[in-house]
Copies of this chain bind each other. A is one copy, B any other.
Amino acid sequence: MQKILIQFDTDSHPSTFDRVVAVDAGVDHLFSYGDVLPENVTGLVHGAMFTRGPNDLNNTAIFVGGSNVEAGEKLTARVTSTFFGPMRVSVMMDSNGCNTTAAAAVVAAKKHLDLATTSAVVLGGTGPVGQRVAQLLAAEGSDVTLVSRSKDRAASACEAIAAKVEGVKLTPAGASSSDEFVSLCKGTKLVVAAGAAGVCFLPEGTLQSLNELAVAIDLNAVPPTGIADIGVSDKAKEASNTICYGALGVGGTKMKVHKQAIASLFEDNDLVLDTAEIYQLALQVAGLSTTD
């Protein structure tokens, strides 16, 4: 039976990136939809649920993507709420690569640190990738400071994460100047910068002033980077006694995780691959999984 992936994209032109990865993950037929709104979902999902018998539904799956992560989250909620009983297909959510990027970043940190005892600072922590990085680190047991320009928004993001994962150690912080960002990073072992393109949090020379810092990761692919001492292609590169990763440095893992996640959708018909599930896959891809 042919493997069918149905791509719901919130942009007008469904992502070529996601389509190529789908093909390379072994999908036989890709049904790509652009401009998908929540109100379009039910009918399109019914067509996935009611065309193949329950025993064959693992050959049909849904991918939610597009540049707008919040819109993707709404679509995903609609998709999963349409299912009932055994009438369901597996779903992956990765709008703007948010989940695969966050997973790849945290896996990179985990290669060098015992995350359960780590203190971590997430700069740009209220954005889609930042929130997911903070969630994954907190779930691993790290003591996470989630930083945003607005302390209120940082607090909201922390609450949202705490509602998803029990017993997390999360502290919201507001900061808007380099001095404040640097100050928040003093004494921490891990910094992840997940801000918008063009935002530089830590100016050149900061790394050598952060003596405790063991790992620094910058997820901004377009210069100027969020941590000026890191190059986009850095991959476990040491600088001032800190192991550095740039966006392309975690990109290889991200691609493998994306491809592996798509492939795994067809193993069963009831998977929902969101932040936590995609992170588990990333651990396996990186050989760090304790369960597999």
Contacts and interface: CB of A to CB of B under 8 A. Distances in A.
A29 B40 contact: no
A93 to B, nearest CB: 18
A18 B60 CA distance: 14
Interface of A: 1-2, 4, 6, 12-13, 15-21, 23-24, 28-33, 35-36, 40, 43-48, 50-52, 60, 67, 255
Contact of A2 (B16, B24, B67): B24
Given A24-B52, A29-B23, A51-B24, A40 B12 contact: yes
B47 A31 contact: no
Nearest to A6: B16
Chain A contact residues, majority secondary structure: mixed
Nearest to A8: B13
Given A16-B44, A40-B12, A44-B16, A2 B23 contact: yes
B48 A36 contact: no
A75 to B, nearest CB: 12
A21 B60 CA distance: 12
Given A13-B36, A32-B31, A20 B48 contact: yes
Nearest to A15: B47
B255 A20 contact: no
